[in-house]
């Protein structure tokens, strides 16, 4: 395990991604997103993705500098063709569009086509909340990411389909960012590499039998992931279907067809000013925080943690202490950087 300052990892991302064809602005956006996720301890969406993003840019799967175009628009809505540019680049552009429209018309909704991996979904609703909006976002994935079963099924028909929600407060926004599945596919992969079992109730075999064995999940024949909710998993299935409809169907994409896109993003922003007023809303959000954090804890819990709070606390720690990077993650970054003439160790000043 190595430890790097966030600024060093950001500098590395910019050097690496510009060497892969990104503009300086695009490279900065992507690096900011991945480093922020690493700062929050969400390593699966953090700088370990430098390797994937760089490789995808080199292979042409991601198209750096490709234009991001609004292909259909009203005063309150937009469909954005993300042009297979880096997902965070199109997502940040979508945040700008949805906030501009919500500022003018009080509520707005923006969806994407041809979007690549957007990274941490919570980031985009957080940005909307920092602009003063209440925001809901969802992201679906095209068919090749369909690991999650409809409730009662034994073959995947949905991705882990996260949904995120954020609301402004007087300090950091309240940020919910949750998968509508029991476990992420990437987490099962990590458990398999470590020779560990998955938690009970998360995955099934190809025959639909409950299992905790990652090998039976990967097969062949491959198994599947259950929707969020354990014995009430039909609710998680319903939430996942909501994500699919908002993230995929609204943008005109068929769920049953494989697509070259990766993620379909939908962001809604609502202006509290049009309702109780922004100032009143912030006061009520603080009242809500105090009401909840003042709840006496149950045995085994020390305190009430609001959605997003642990991420913020980790962010403060890692800003101070640096970001740990696993050796194999670092080695992969070094290798892809070398391919494009970037000396990763030199850039981070190690």
For its own copies, the binding residues in 105-164 under the rule CB under 8 A are: 105-109, 111, 134, 136, 149-155, 157
Helix, strand, or coil here: 138? strand
Stretch that binds its own copies, among 11-19, 21-29, 48-56, 204-212 (CB under 8 A): 204-212
Binding positions for its own copies, 175-194, rule CB under 8 A: 176, 178, 182
CA distance 174 to 232: 26
CB nearer to its own copies: pick between 72 and 196: 72
Stretch that binds its own copies, among 43-51, 81-89, 187-195, 201-209 (CB under 8 A): 201-209
Of the candidates 158, 152, 157, 155, the residue with the CA atom closest to the CA atom of residue 138: 158
For residue 64, how far is the Cα from the chain centroid?
A: 20
- Residue 198 found at the interface with its own copies (CB under 8 A): no
Binding-site string for its own copies from residue 41 to residue 80, where x marks contact by CB under 8 A and - marks none: -------------------------------x-xxxx-x-
CA distance 97 to 78: 8
CB nearer to its own copies: pick between 274 and 319: 274
For its own copies, the binding residue among 67, 195, 231, 320 (CB under 8 A) is: 231
Binding positions for its own copies, 28-47, rule CB under 8 A: none
Rounded to a whole number of angstroms, the minimum distance from the CB of residue 238 to its own copies is: 4
CA distance 73 to 79: 6
For residue 82, how far is the Cα from the chain centroid?
A: 16
CA distance 176 to 136: 9
- Residue 349 found at the interface with its own copies (CB under 8 A): no
The two beta strands, 77-81 and 107-113, are parallel
CB nearer to its own copies: pick between 16 and 285: 285
Rounded to a whole number of angstroms, the minimum distance from the CB of residue 280 to its own copies is: 6
Structure tokens at 33: 């997103």
- Residue 287 found at the interface with its own copies (CB under 8 A): yes
Sequence-distant (6+) residues with CB within 8 A of 152 are: 234
For its own copies, the binding residue among 24, 70, 190, 254 (CB under 8 A) is: 254
CB nearer to its own copies: pick between 193 and 230: 230
CA distance 191 to 213: 9
Rounded to a whole number of angstroms, the minimum distance from the CB of residue 205 to its own copies is: 10
Contact 109, 268 (CB under 8 A): yes
Binding positions for its own copies, 7-26, rule CB under 8 A: none
At residue 329, what are phi and psi to the nearest 5 degrees? -65, -45
CB nearer to its own copies: pick between 18 and 77: 77
For its own copies, the binding residue among 56, 244, 247, 318 (CB under 8 A) is: 244
**163 pairs with which residues across the strands?**
138, 178
For its own copies, the binding residue among 70, 234, 260, 331 (CB under 8 A) is: 234
294-321: burial string, b at 16+ Cβ within 10 Å, e else = eeeeeeeeeeeebbbbebbeebeebeee
């Amino acid at each position: 395990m190595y430890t790097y300052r966030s600024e060093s990892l950001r500098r590395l991302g910019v050097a690496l991604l510009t060497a892969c064809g990104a503009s300086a602005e695009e490279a900065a956006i992507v690096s900011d997103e991945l480093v922020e996720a690493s700062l929050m301890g969400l390593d699966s969406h953090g700088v370990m993705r430098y390797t994937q993003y760089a490789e995808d840019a080199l292979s042409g799967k991601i198209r750096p500098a490709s234009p991001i175009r609004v292909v259909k628009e009203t005063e309150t809505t937009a469909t954005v063709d993300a042009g297979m540019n880096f997902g965070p680049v199109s997502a940040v552009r979508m945040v700008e569009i949805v906030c501009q429209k919500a500022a003018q018309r009080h509520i707005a909704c923006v969806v994407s086509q041809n979007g690549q991996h957007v990274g941490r979904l919570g980031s985009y609703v957080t940005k909307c909340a920092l602009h003063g909006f209440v925001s809901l976002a969802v992201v679906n994935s095209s068919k090749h990411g369909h690991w999650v079963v409809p409730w009662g099924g034994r073959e995947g028909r949905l991705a882990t389909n996260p949904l995120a929600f954020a609301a402004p407060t007087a300090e950091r926004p309240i940020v919910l960012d949750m998968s509508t599945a029991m476990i992420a596919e990437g987490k099962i992969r990590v458990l398999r590499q470590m020779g560990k079992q998955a938690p009970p109730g998360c995955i099934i075999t190809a025959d639909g039998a409950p299992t905790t064995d990652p090998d039976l999940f990967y097969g062949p024949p491959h198994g599947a992931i259950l929707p969020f909710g354990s014995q009430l998993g039909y609710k998680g299935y319903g939430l996942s279907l909501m994500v699919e409809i908002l993230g995929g169907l609204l943008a005109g994409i068929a769920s049953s067809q494989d697509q070259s896109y990766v993620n379909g993003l939908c962001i809604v922003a609502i202006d509290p000013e049009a309702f109780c007023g922004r100032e009143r809303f912030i006061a009520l959000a603080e009242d809500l925080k105090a009401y909840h954090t003042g709840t006496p804890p149950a045995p085994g819990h020390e305190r009430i943690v609001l959605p997003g709070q642990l991420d913020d606390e980790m962010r403060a720690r890692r800003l101070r202490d640096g970001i740990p990077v696993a050796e194999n993650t670092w080695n992969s970054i070094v290798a892809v950087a070398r391919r494009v003439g970037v000396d990763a160790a030199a850039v981070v000043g190690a």
